[in-house]
Amino acid sequence: MNFTIQNVLIPIPTSDDYTTTDVQVIDGIITAIAPGLEVVGEAINGQNKLLLPGFVNAHTHSSEMWQRGIIPPLPLELWLAQLYDFAPLDAEKVYLSALGTAVETLLTGGTTVVDHLVLIPDQELETIATAVRAYREVGIRAFIAPLIQDQSLNAGIPSGDTQQNHEAFFRSTQETLEVLEAAIKQFHDPEDGISILAAPTGIQLCSDALFTGCIELGEKYNLCLHSHLLETKAQAMLAQEKYGCTGVEHLRNLGYLSDRTSLAHCVHLTDNDIAILAETQSTVVHNPLSNLRLGSGIAPILKFRQAGVNVSFGCDGASSNDSQDLLEAIKIGSILHNTTDLEYEHWITPRQAVEMAALGGARGLNMEQEIGSVTVGKKADLVLYDLSNLSLLPRTDPIGLLVLGRPVNVVDSAWVNGKQVVRDGTVTTVDIQELRTELFQHSQWDSKGKSATVEEIEAHYRYVMGLGIFK
C-alpha cells in the first residue's frame, strides 16, 4: 500500500491554477505532497494525468440495477408501486448488483458508495451480508444503509379529503430496530471500510418511533443517519397531513437532524426548512437525474449553498436514473440550477462541484477529517484521470473538462485506503468479464406495462394530486 505518484497535476485549492507535483502514500495515508519526492513503494507515472480525491456516491439503492431502463415515466409514488411488483430479489442478484454499482461508481470517479439497501423480507441480515461481501471484494469504501420502514406503501400517499385505511406493515417497529441493531453488531467496521448507517426510508413510510429508535442506535453505536426527505410534492402534502408542519420541522423536533445526518433529495423545502438544515448542519444529497426522471422537481441547491448547507451528490438507484455514472450526476447537478437563479455569481463552478462531490460527501458521513481531499494525513482515497483521453481533449481546464464535458472511460487509476482498485482503466479486484456474463445471464430482454399495484393506487393518486379524472 506504499506508492508515489510522480509528476501529476493537482489543483491548487485557493486558486484556479494547477501544479505538477509528486504524491507519496505510505500505509494507506497521504504522507507527502511536493515535487521531486523520493520514491517510496511503487512509482506511478502521473504525467498528463489529474489527481483528485475520490468522490462519494452519497445515495443509491444497488439492487435497483435489475430494473434500470424498464420502469415507464411515472412519478415517485407510482414508480415505487411498479418497483414493488417486480420479482423478489435473491441473494445472488443482491451480490451482482452491488458489484455492478461499485464498479460503475469507481469508473466514474467515486471511491465511496452509500447503499440504501433494499432488504429481502425475512432474509435481512443475509441481504446485508451479501452486499458487504460484494463491497469488500471490490474494495470500495461502503456505507450500507439498510432501508427500513414500518408503514405500508399506500401510507406514503396523502389522503386529501378521503378516508384511507392502510394495512399494517408486515414487521413491527421493534423487530425492525432489532434487525438494524443485529446488522450494526455484525457488520459495522469503519476501519475496514464497511460502515452501517441508521436509515429509515423517510417520513412517508416511517413512524416517529422508528426515527427515534434510529437516533438512539446512532448514539449508541456512533453511526450517521440517512433518509429520503421531501422528494416530491405529495410528500410535502403528506407531512402537513401527518404532522401539521413541514417534514423538516418535524424531524428537527424529533432530534433527527444533526451534522451526522444526510438527507437524499430535499426538493420541496421552505426557506425556513433550509434555515433549519443549515442550523443543524445536516447534509443534503442531491440526486438530479432521479429528480428529473421522476418529475420530482429541482432541489433548491443554490439556496442551500447560500444558506451554508452542505450538499453532496448521489446517483440514486439505477431504476430512477438509470445508470450509476457519478460524473453525469455531478454535471447535471451543477448546471441544472443555472436556470433557477439569474444571479450567475451563485452558479456552481466545476471546482465547487468537485469539492461538493468529494469533501461534501465526506462531511455528510462524518469522514471530513479522513477523506475528501488530497491532503497530507488523510486516507488515500484517490482517483487519477487520464487527460490524454479523447473526451478530455483538446487541453483546456482539466476540471472544467471533467465536470462540464462528457468524459468517457477517463479514470486511469483509483485507490481506496491506499489499495489500488482500478489500474489502466480497469477494476482489478473483480473479474469484469465474469460480472458482465452474470448480469447478462441473470436477466432477459424485457419491457413491461403498468403493474397491478400501480393500477390499484393510480386513481387515488390522481385525485389527491389534482390531476383530474383518471382516463
Say which residues have a Cβ less than 8 Å from residue 264's Cβ, sequence separation at least 6.
58, 59, 116, 226, 227, 228, 229, 231, 285, 287, 314, 316
The smaller minimum CB distance to Zn ion, of residues 246 and 320, is found at 320
> In the range 315-344, which residues lie near Zn ion by CB under 5 A?
316
The smaller minimum CB distance to Zn ion, of residues 316 and 322, is found at 316
The smaller minimum CB distance to Zn ion, of residues 316 and 328, is found at 316
Provide, rounded to whole angstroms, the least separation between the CB of residue 147 and Zn ion: 8
Provide, rounded to whole angstroms, the least separation between the CB of residue 114 and Zn ion: 10
In the complex, which residue's CB is closest to Zn ion?
Answer: 316
Q: Taking contact as CB under 5 A, which single stretch among the options 242-250, 312-320, 388-396, 454-462 is the one that binds Zn ion?
A: 312-320
Name the β-bridge partners of 148: 200
Provide, rounded to whole angstroms, the least separation between the CB of residue 101 and Zn ion: 13
In whole angstroms, what is the distance from residue 164 CA to residue 460 CA? 10
The smaller minimum CB distance to Zn ion, of residues 44 and 264, is found at 264
The smaller minimum CB distance to Zn ion, of residues 49 and 228, is found at 228
In whole angstroms, what is the distance from residue 222 CA to residue 195 CA? 10
Cβ proximity of 54 and 313 under 8 Å? no
The smaller minimum CB distance to Zn ion, of residues 364 and 398, is found at 364
Provide, rounded to whole angstroms, the least separation between the CB of residue 418 and Zn ion: 31
In whole angstroms, what is the distance from residue 45 CA to residue 233 CA? 50
In whole angstroms, what is the distance from residue 113 CA to residue 13 CA? 25
The smaller minimum CB distance to Zn ion, of residues 104 and 316, is found at 316
In whole angstroms, what is the distance from residue 339 CA to residue 335 CA? 8
Cα distance from N-terminal residue to C-terminal residue, the chain: 62
The smaller minimum CB distance to Zn ion, of residues 6 and 204, is found at 204
Provide, rounded to whole angstroms, the least separation between the CB of residue 265 and Zn ion: 7
- For 108-147, give the secondary structure using H, E and C: CCEEEEEEEECCCCCCHHHHHHHHHHHHHHHCCEEEEEEC
Q: Taking contact as CB under 5 A, which single stretch among the options 141-149, 164-172, 314-322, 413-421 is the one that binds Zn ion?
A: 314-322
The smaller minimum CB distance to Zn ion, of residues 24 and 324, is found at 324
User: What are the CA-CA distances from residue 49 to residues 119, 144, 330, 334, 380 (Å)?
Assistant: 40, 32, 20, 23, 17
> In the range 345-364, which residues lie near Zn ion by CB under 5 A?
none
Beta strands in 27-163 (DSSP E): 29-34, 42-45, 49-53, 55-60, 110-117, 141-146
Provide, rounded to whole angstroms, the least separation between the CB of residue 320 and Zn ion: 7
Provide, rounded to whole angstroms, the least separation between the CB of residue 201 and Zn ion: 8
In whole angstroms, what is the distance from residue 144 CA to residue 195 CA? 6
Provide, rounded to whole angstroms, the least separation between the CB of residue 227 and Zn ion: 10
In whole angstroms, what is the distance from residue 200 CA to residue 245 CA? 19
Q: Taking contact as CB under 5 A, which single stretch among the options 38-46, 70-78, 213-221, 308-316 is the one that binds Zn ion?
A: 308-316
Q: Which of 237, 221, 280, 273 is nearest to 256 (CA)?
A: 280
All cell numbers assigned to 71: 420502469
- Residue 380: how many CA atoms within 13 Å on its side-chain side? 25
Provide, rounded to whole angstroms, the least separation between the CB of residue 193 and Zn ion: 22
The smaller minimum CB distance to Zn ion, of residues 286 and 379, is found at 286
Provide, rounded to whole angstroms, the least separation between the CB of residue 47 and Zn ion: 40
Beta strands 411-416; 382-386: pairing state: antiparallel
Size of the site for Zn ion (CB under 5 A): 1
Residues that bind Zn ion (CB under 5 A): 316
